[in-house]
Amino acid sequence: MDRPGFTASLVAGGVAGVSVDLILFPLDTIKTRLQSPQGFYKAGGFYGVYAGVPSTAIGSFPNAAAFFVTYEYVKWILHTDSSSYLMPVTHMLAASVGEVVACLIRVPSEVVKQRAQVSASSGTFHIFSNILCQEGIQGLYRGYKSTVLREIPFSLVQFPLWESLKALWSWRQDHVVDSWQSAVCGAFAGGFAAAVTTPLDVAKTRIMLAKAGSSTASGNILSALHAVWRTQGLSGLFAGVFPRMAAISLGGFIFLGVYDQTRSFLLELGRESP
């Protein structure tokens, strides 16, 4: 990938990530509290829905930038012809590698954010300090495996679906989709992917919020899913599905639309520069 393409993906991904995370933060807080083992109202209900936002504000840009730089770079390395039946596989591989890299930044930010969301009276820095003192760096990466195991299936659904919908729309209208059309495709792809991966999101939330030293805190995603199924059944596995779908559909519209628009603008700017 050439330097202009690398820079465009880096900046566009970061701008898209910050935009969507800050706009949709209240919906994410409500979703986290619905999935909390202590229950929605004990976790804070509708009070303090911006608790934990500093953690998100700090982590959003590098997290999203890392994902899209990796995503575009892997696509460039594999360089599959656009008419090839292997194109969806290329998008799946690129998205999966992107998620593994991005989670190195996302998980510490997510751990601090989610604990702040269910204890709104505690400040973000206080929670961050407590994790470091009590659990060390390992505590910041609690739930890394479960996050990756949530994000990879999500991306395996979302990104090939997004790219396929864009290709279909481009074919129907006989020209490349505009940014708003890419955003609509992103909304559909994101909402569908969000619905089918909700149980994995519930397990990830339980692992991140579990008390240090508990069996759930060990990070075993299957045992976390089994515990939820045993105590709450199917409704527990899909707790928060509607705010998650709403947030990610709207998030997909903003995130992928802003990404396409910003990247196109930056590449155009690079071509015009001497």
pLDDT tens per residue across span 186-223: 899 989 999 999 998 898 888 888 877 777 777 778 88
> What's the rounded Cα separation, in Å, for the pair 67 and 153?
15
Low-confidence ranges of the chain (pLDDT < 70): 1-6, 80-85, 121, 270, 272-274
Q: What are the sequence ranges of the domains in the chain?
A: 20-43+145-257, 51-142
CB-CB contact of 168 with 82 (8 Å): no
pLDDT above 70 coverage of the chain, percent: 93
Q: What is the pLDDT of residue 182?
A: 84
HEC profile of 37-78: CCCCCCCCCCCCCCCCHHHHHHHHHHHHHHHHHHHHHHHHHH
**Residues of the chain by 3-state class (helix, strand, coil), percent to 5:** 80, 0, 20
Q: What token pair was written down for 254?
A: 């903003």
pTM above 0.85, yes or no: no
When the pLDDT of each residue in the chain is averaged and rounded to a whole number, the result is 84
CB-CB contact of 236 with 202 (8 Å): yes
**71-87 pLDDT, tens per residue?**
888 888 887 665 566 77
Q: What is the pLDDT of residue 238?
A: 92
**28-52 pLDDT, tens per residue?**
889 888 888 888 888 888 888 888 8
